[in-house]
Amino acid sequence: MAKKAAVKEVTLETVLWNCRVALRGIGSTEKNRDAVIGLVFLKFAGDKFEKRRGELVEQYGEIPEFLEKASFYNAVNVFYLKETARWTYIVKHAGDNDIAVIIDQAMADIEDSNPPLKGALSKNLFATLGASKNAIKSLIDEVNNIDEKRFHEEDLIGRVYEYFLQIYAAAGTKEDGEFYTPASAVKLIAEVIEPYGGVVYDPCCGSGGMFVQSLKFVDRHNGNRQNISVIGQESNPDTWRLCKMNLAIRGISHNLGEKNASTFTDDLHRDKKVDYIMANPPFNLKGWRGEDELREDSRFQGWSAMPPVANANYAWILHMISKLDVNRGIAGFLLANGALNADGAEYELRKELLEKDRVEAIIVLPRDMFYTTDISVTMWVINMNKKAQTINGRQLRDRTQEVLFMDLRTWNENIEEIVIDKGKRKKKTVLTDEQIVEVKKVYNNWQSVDTSSYKNVPEFCKSATLNDIQAKDYSLAPSKYIEFIDHDLDIDYEKEMERIQKEMREIMKAEKESQSMMEEAFRGIGYGIE
């Protein structure tokens, strides 16, 4: 009797890949992304609804006034779903000719029943996608395979969302990919600024990665999520919707304003002061204001210069400083390296930032971390209070007029490869958890009252005073301060040449001996050697 072939377990990556394949060649990158993530949202919302419904049946029995009351679901961060908006209904009708209309109606109904989702879900997406009913059915079948019972991931929702956001960022253009910041870079920011409790703000929140990592930080360190609230805004309407979906499906309460809007021209949180800021503003954004626009805006008052129209890097910095609590606010954000040495108005602003003692740390990241650019970027830490105090149980020394510089550009050995399409791959540098812990340790040791715990390390880190920085004309490039070791100076050239010459003589001798042996062998079998 023939043996039955073993059934190979399908991995989560295979299922997620198949989701993308189901829509290959049909629509634009953006529409396909929104279609896949939209269905993933419906699947997870449906799973959470059914689980909660089961709990209510167990508690109250089959009593409609309890099972169909939205407040019984919303109280535990679960969305109430009408029957036609439930995932089980969508799966049941996956082969229907009007499945596109059914899905679009389900999304509209979910918004109607759950006010926090207002504007988050795409309207008439599937009706205009251009996909056949068979293609949509294939996609539904694949998404239906993403199940907690099958894939025992600690954060399955987050794992799936991050996969699609990362993949579509990698596959798209610079504009397509702006909404995604590498998870390891976001995790580094969270670990350094330690958002244990208070308000976390992101002025350009993209798909919400900064908010997710701030909550993950609290979870990793056994904190209380109830102590954190998140606010932000995003100018791109599609990305704003992605962010609302990403946060909502994870049960993260948030305030992203009533609409998408430009942070500079339409500040949705104008009078708000926050404890933490985590951000990755668009690099070197041009045309962020008109020539005379915003000159009277309070965010830019009290500074010696106005950030130039041609580059918003310092406009982001001043905006974030205007939001921070003046006694305890701290910000961690990413900027292109050009901000470290920029001249003109940016030079004047950088000088003033340092004289006002707002800059605490500058950390240059490895190259090739981002999917839309291969440049190295810098993490800035802005601290409104660098005086001695106790923070999160740590005794901090007075660091006024000091800045910590770190250079991580040699940390480029950990490579992550992503298959973005058949035959197309992208490789990106990823910071490991161990490396993130190392950066956090150096930063915390530098802050510590135990001054013996921190040491300057050549080619890695350096603590510089304001006097040191003034001597370098207010440059914030770590290479100006961190000691460089010329490894060529360690070479004894005379001994090295002797070693090389000796090796060459031995090689030539071995070759001559090998040639002689070959000649002897050929003579032995009757071949003449000339």
The amino acid that residue 96 corresponds to is D
Average the pLDDT over 10-15 and give the result: 85
In angstroms, rounded to a whole number, what is the distance separating the alpha carbons of residues 178 and 396?
36
| DSSP H/E element including 405 | strand 402-407
DSSP state of 429: E
Decide if pLDDT at 336 tops 50.
Answer: yes
The number of beta carbons lying within 10 Å of the beta carbon of residue 240 is: 25
In angstroms, rounded to a whole number, what is the distance separating the alpha carbons of residues 81 and 68?
9
In angstroms, rounded to a whole number, what is the distance separating the alpha carbons of residues 162 and 158?
6
Nearest to 342 by CA among 333, 331, 353: 353
Average the pLDDT over 473-487 and give the result: 89
Token pair 């109430």: residue: 80
Looking only at the bridges linking them, the beta strands covering 254-255 and 276-279 are unpaired
Strand order in the sheet with 377-383: 254-255, 228-232, 198-202, 276-279, 330-336, 377-383, 359-364, 402-407, 461-465
User: Nearest 5°: phi and psi at 279?
Assistant: -155, 155
Question: What tens digit of pLDDT does each residue of 154-187 get?
Answer: 678 888 888 888 888 777 655 544 557 889 999 9
Question: What tens digit of pLDDT does each residue of 304-329 get?
Answer: 999 999 999 999 999 999 999 999 99
Contact 334, 185 (CB under 8 A): yes
Nearest to 161 by CA among 346, 34, 330: 34
The number of beta carbons lying within 10 Å of the beta carbon of residue 393 is: 6
Question: What tens digit of pLDDT does each residue of 57-98 get?
Answer: 999 998 888 898 889 998 888 999 999 999 999 999 999 999
Decide if pLDDT at 511 tops 80.
Answer: no
Token pair 């981002």: residue: 370
- Where is average pLDDT lowest: 128-137, 152-161, 281-290? 152-161
Q: How far is CA 53 from CA 45, 65, 75, in A?
A: 12, 12, 13
pTM to 2 decimal places: 0.86
Rounded to the nearest integer, the mean pLDDT of the chain is 89
Q: What is the pLDDT of residue 151?
A: 84
DSSP state of 72: H
Token pair 């701030």: residue: 214
Which residues lie below 8 Å from residue 214, measured CB to CB, with a gap of 6+? 190, 195, 200, 228, 230, 276, 278
Contact 338, 295 (CB under 8 A): no
Q: How would residue 35 be classed by pLDDT, with cut points 50, 70 and 90?
A: very high
- Where is average pLDDT lowest: 335-344, 469-478, 503-512? 503-512
With a pLDDT cut of 90, the percent of the chain lying above it is 65
